Structure 1
Amino acid sequence: MATTHEIKVQRREDEGKGASRRLRHAGEVPAVVYGGDLKPVSIKLSHNDVWLASQHEWFYASILDLSLNGDVQKVLLRDMQRHPFKQQILHLDFQRVNANETIRTAVPLHFINEDSSPAGKAADVVITHELNEVTVTCLPGDLPEFIEIDLGAMVVGDIVHLSQVKLPKGVEIPELALGADHDVAVVVAKHGRVEAEPEETDEASADVPATKAAKDDE
């Protein structure tokens, strides 16, 4: 079962670009909560708290508990706007989740035992992660913070496809229902590119045809 994380928020009454700018100058982040049977609500969060949370993987792929003066709503982060060059979060969108309704979201992939695998130990083999996350569907209570893929037995030439990923109970990958063409590679182990060494030119051998031709003309 997924671990939840509490994020403290406050309701905001003022809206618009001007109000949002004032919040940011005051060290806060404007945000909105929507979805479910309730109307969208404008909120604000401490930028320091949000910035620290944003450094963790769980912030993007876990059920979050938004706490408004003790009133807790379970949500998923759906959108984050960042400043193009400053270390600043500009806006957040959260979607409410219902414990009895299926959700669809991306979950990170964690690759383990790669270095200890036969492929990982080989100097001329490259292991490529084609995907770093996968979109799943499940009930909120079944949402994993990440999915592990054990590469301990991987050898050169192996390919791990999407259908081979071991999923927790209650979790599905909707992409696989679209057909075999969507069973894409997740991890590939192959020989690294070896640059061909330039061939040495044997000057003596290169002169032979010309010498032979000269003798033929005599």
Structure 2
Amino acid sequence: MKFVAFERAKQGTGASRRLRITGKTPGIVYGGEGQPQLIEIDHNALWHALKKEAFHSSILEMELAGATTKVLLRDVQYHPFRQLVQHVDFQRVDARTRMTVKVPLHFKGEEESTAVKLDHNLVNHVMNELEVSCLPADLPEFIEVDLSGLTKNATVHVNDIKLPKGVKFVSHGKINPVVVSAVPPLVAEEPAAGAEGAPAEGAAAPAAKADAKAPAKKK
């Protein structure tokens, strides 16, 4: 994916605020052999690009001052309640250096699995993205997870997923976390006998009301 950026001369809170008023979003590009560089991007173009999954997990081509640089989106700051991108960070990509990136997971086949078709399990997606380490050339746009073989009450772990060549999972201490689990559906409990007010079989009859009159004794 490609996008156009422009050099930004001024920095600071006031300058960034004035830039946003004109429909631009301030940003920065860092990493690689060059120095950090201040940039600005058309807000509307950036807003629509951020809605695309690939913009978050792919190597991007940034056109700046007549040159094209490969970068990776690293951070986006949104306004708390307005549809406004306040700041964006990009990192330059070195073709010879491994990088750590979060890649989205795409699930398929769960409706055909026996866990769903026969046992009516609910499929719980514990993880929707995977943090991986790889060279820029090996970075996948997404990782596909086939759930057609999912069985009753089963779980799918990271080690069960076939990662693309050159891609390694970044564990952060979690050796083999759960990605998907098949959960049995909740079953409503049957009402207890006599719950509607009728006495259960063999139960004693309810006592008479306190204000009921006792029969008169014969003289």
TM-score by length of 2: 0.87
SS where residue 203 of structure 2 aligns? helix
Question: Would you say the 8 A contact 2:119–2:152 is kept in 1?
Answer: no
Equivalent residue, structure 2, for 1:197: 190
Task: Return 65-74 or 158-167, whichever deviates more.
Answer: 65-74
Percent of residue pairs bearing the same amino acid type: 43
Answer with 1 or 2: which has the greater Rg: 2
Structure 1 residue 6 displacement after superposition: 0.7
Aligned counterpart, 2:154: 158
Cα distance in 1 for partners of 2:192, 2:85 equals: 56
Instruction: Identify the range of structure 1 (116-125 vs 191-200) with the bigger mean alpha-carbon deviation.
Output: 116-125
| Map of 1:43 onto structure 2 | 39
RMSD: 1.7
Q: Which residues in structure 2 correspond to 1:27-176 (within 5 Å)? A: 27-122=23-118, 124-175=120-171
Q: Which 4+ stretches in 1 moved above 6 angstroms?
A: none
Does the residue aligned with 2:32 lie in a helix, a strand or coil? coil
TM-score by length of 1: 0.88
Q: Write the distance in 1 (CA, Å) between the matches of 2:190 and 2:13.
A: 62
Distance in 1 of aligned mates of 2:200 and 2:152: 40
Once residues 25 and 116 of structure 2 are traced to their aligned partners in structure 1, the CA distance between those partners, rounded to angstroms, is 43
Give the C-alpha shift of residue 124 in structure 1. Answer: 3.3
Note the 1:178-217 alignment, pairs <5 A: 178=173, 182-201=175-194, 202-207=199-204
Q: For structure 1, which runs of at least 5 residues remain unmatched after alignment?
A: 211-218
1:159 CA drift (Å): 0.9
Query: How far does residue 155 in structure 1 lie from its aligned partner after superposition?
Result: 1.7
Question: Partners in 2 of 1:109 and 1:28 — Cα distance?
Answer: 32
Return the alpha-carbon distance in structure 1 between the equivalents of residues 100 and 191 of structure 2: 53
The secondary structure found in structure 2 opposite 1:207 is coil
